[in-house]
Amino acid sequence: MPANLIKRDVITALAARAAGLDQPEGNARLKQVVNRLLVDLMVAIDELDISMDEFWCGIAYLTQAGKQNEFGLIVPGVVLEHFLDLRLDEAEQRAGLAGGTARTIEGPLYIAGAPMSKGEARLDDGTDDGEVLFMEGQVRDVSGKPIAGAIVDVWHANTMGNYSHFDPTQTAFNLRRRIETDAEGRYRFRSIMPSGYACPSGSQTEKLLGAIGRHGNRPAHVHFFVSASGYRKLTTQINIDGDKYLHDDFAFGTRGELIPRVERVADAGEIHKFGLNKPFARIRFDFSMTKEVAGAPATIVTREHAEAA
Ligand code: MBD
Ligand code: FE
Q: What is the pLDDT of residues 9-25, one digit of tens each?
A: 999 999 999 999 999 99
Pairing of β 132-141 and β 186-192: antiparallel
User: Count of CB atoms within 10 A of residue 189's CB?
Assistant: 20
Strand 120-122, strand 186-192: pairing: parallel
Q: What percent of the chain has pLDDT over 90?
A: 95
Answer whether residue 309 shows pLDDT above 70.
no
Mutational test site, ligand 1, from 79, 195, 218, max ligand atoms within 8 Å of CB: 218
On whether the CB atoms of residues 291 and 230 are closer than 8 A, the answer is: yes
Q: Is the pLDDT of residue 157 over 70?
A: yes
Ligand 1 atom 3: residue of nearest CA: 107
Residue with CA closest to ligand 1 atom 7: 107
Asked if pLDDT for residue 295 goes beyond 90, the answer is no
Q: What is the pLDDT of residue 121?
A: 98
Q: What is the pLDDT of residue 306?
A: 74
Q: What sign has the CA pseudo-torsion 275, 133, 305, 288?
A: positive
Question: Of 142, 139, 99, 286, which Cα lies nearest the Cα of 227?
Answer: 139
| 56: pLDDT strictly greater than 80 | yes
Report the percent of the chain where pLDDT is more than 70. Answer: 99
The mean predicted confidence, pLDDT, of the chain is 97
Residues, CB-to-ion distance under 5 Å, ligand 2 = 107
Is the distance from the beta carbon of residue 216 to the nearest atom of ligand 1 less than 6 Å? no
Q: Is residue 175 over pLDDT 80?
A: yes
Angle subtended at Cα 212 by Cα 207 and Cα 217, rounded to the nearest 5 degrees: 65
Which pTM does this prediction carry? Answer: 0.97
Amino acid, single-letter form, for residue 167 = D
* Mean of pLDDT values over 219-247: 98
Convert the pLDDT of each residue in 187-228 to its tens digit: 999 999 999 999 999 999 999 999 999 999 999 999 999 999
Mean pLDDT value of segment 244-268? 98
pLDDT for residue 308: 67
